[in-house]
Amino acid sequence: MTIFLTTHYMEEAENLCDRVCLIRSGKKVTEETVAEVIGSSPYENLEEAYLWDMDEEVE
Phi-psi group of 55: left, alpha or beta (phi > 0 → left; psi -120 to 50 → alpha; rest → beta): left
CA Rg value for the chain: 11
Domain ranges for the chain, please list them. Answer: 10-53
User: According to the model, what pLDDT value does residue 56 have?
Assistant: 82
pTM of the model: 0.83
Instruction: Please give the Cα distance from 46 to 49 (Å, whole number).
Output: 5
9-40 pLDDT tens trace = 999 999 999 999 999 999 999 999 999 999 99
Instruction: Please give the Cα distance from 9 to 15 (Å, whole number).
Output: 10
Of the candidates 11, 48, 53, 49, the one whose C-alpha atom is nearest the C-alpha of residue 30 is 53
